[in-house]
Structure 1
Amino acid sequence: MKKLAGLTMGAICLAASLTAQATDVAQLVVRGTIVPAACNLSLGGGGIIDYGTIRSGELSQTAYNPREEKVTSLVVNCGTTPAKFGLTLTDLQAGSKVSGILGSGYSEAQNYGLGAVSGRRTGGYSVTLKDLRSSGVTLHPIMRVGSGAWQHSDGKVAQVPSQYSWRNGSTATPASIAQLTGVIAVKAVINKAQALDLTRDVTLDGRATLVLSYI
């Protein structure tokens, strides 16, 4: 009988405890996520600039060897949602840079490496933004370093921390646009032949990462 009474008492206490937790207050939670505009970045030809076969006999032994400018298309598509965005480039072959190879008018931040063969640096190349447009309207490149002030640019692209965008007015302010088309122009310069190992094939191996970010 004591055991039964103990069980009954336990049930009563439990019922009393549950009743004590009852409340007449409830919480309403409103949730959602606002995401940036869904922009897609693409380069023509898979982003490959191909200089084909270059005969070693064409190269100067004692001077740098500039090649012709080649281009690929640049497209950014944000659907119907305008956005302010910019581009940064990171040189993945920065350790192979040949200082001064681009000549006057270029800084070392605008000099991208072409890789190295047998420990000898192949050369460098420049990247320039050209013919930027949005819905038929001409855009002009602007740039800033890090989080600094935006300023006008001639389109020559320096590596990070420099960031590039575009304006549709006279002031250096990023334009809010839904679509962008343009051209990325690349100009390679091969090292002096005497600085290369021409007893074997020398491959131009420039590689850079192009990143789209929202401003």
Structure 2
Amino acid sequence: MNKSLAALALFLVAAHQGQAVAASSVELIVKGLITPSACTPTLSANGIVDHGKLSAKDLNQGTPTDLPAVTLQMNVNCDAQTLFGLNGNDNRASSAIVATGYGLGLIDNTQKIGTYHLELVNPVADNVAVIPLESNNGGQTWSAIDGEYWYSGNLAGFGGVSGGLYVPVPIQDLTTDLAVMTQIAPAQDLNLSNEVSLDGSATIEVKYL
């Protein structure tokens, strides 16, 4: 959340041999917004998706292997109705085998284990069904992602259509399913002679709009 409180202007004045000389000046403006309400996101199962033990021989050799989808419930509770979005920050971004997905870590610091995708399903805001939205420009414009992946690095929002455009709406209590679809890289591209841990990690952050 931006925390700046005021605008600041800097002016420079120079003097030469006792005569005042007006110098060029430039204005610096510091902007921001302090919201009176706060929002807290939570995930069921402590945000952990555990696929258990997988046998290397069950993985596809030449194509990625899709694991069963797992669904968590995500809630965002605010002190009052608040206009917000959600940022999905991939803590393993360099290891994703698909640029729009989230990474699962590396083997030997070089081999990408795989990718997982997120999908926002059946969101309900203050007891009313809403449309999951996505913005790839920081919230300037939005598109619907109902039935589609929420891409890594993009901002998610929840709302509807106003004036022919998709827009997020202020929300106090949001509930949505978060479907997690995991995909392991082709086995031929991985060193599976030892146990390999799936190491996906992402931070879902509330961004006030």
1:210 corresponds to 2:204: yes
CA deviation after TM superposition for structure 1 residue 151, in Å: 2.3
Q: So what's the TM-score if we normalise by structure 1?
A: 0.74
CA distance in 2: counterparts of 1:177 and 1:72, whole angstroms: 20
Where in structure 1 do 4 or more consecutive aligned residues deviate above 4 Å? 168-171
User: AA paired with 1:124?
Assistant: T
1:97 paired to 2:96:
yes
In the alignment, the residues of structure 1 paired with residue 35 and residue 189 of structure 2 have an alpha-carbon distance, to the nearest angstrom, of 51
Question: Which one-letter code corresponds to 1:117 in the other structure?
Answer: I
Aligned pair count reads 172
Asked whether 1:117 is paired with 2:107, we answer yes
Q: Deviations over 1:29-60 (max 9, x none)?
A: xxxxx743121111111111110111112112
As a proportion of its length, which structure holds more helix?
1
Letter of the aligned partner of 2:152 in structure 1? Q
Residue of structure 2 in register with 1:56 after alignment:
56
* Gap runs ≥5 in structure 2: 1-33
What is the 5 A alignment of 1:131-146? 131-146=122-137
Between the aligned residues of both structures, percent identity stands at 29
1 CA distance for matches of 2:200 and 2:168?
29
> If each structure's strand is expressed as a fraction of its own residues, which one has the higher value?
2
Equivalent position of 1:105 in the other structure: none
| Contact 1:138/1:168 (8 A) holds in 2 | no
Indicate if the aligned counterparts of 1:37 and 1:83 stay in contact, CA closer than 8 A.
Answer: yes
Secondary structure, counterpart of 2:115 in structure 1: strand
Range that drifts further, 54-63 or 144-153: 144-153
Contact 1:87 1:211 in 2 (8 A): yes
What is the aligned-residue RMSD (CA, Å)? Answer: 1.8
Q: Which whole-Å CA distance do the structure 2 matches of 1:152 and 1:56 have between them?
A: 38
- Structure 1 unaligned residues grouped into runs of 5+: 1-33, 100-107
Q: TM-score, normalised by structure 2?
A: 0.76
Q: Deviations over 1:54-113 (max 9, x none)?
A: 11121121221111110111001113x1111100111111111214xxxxxxxx32x111
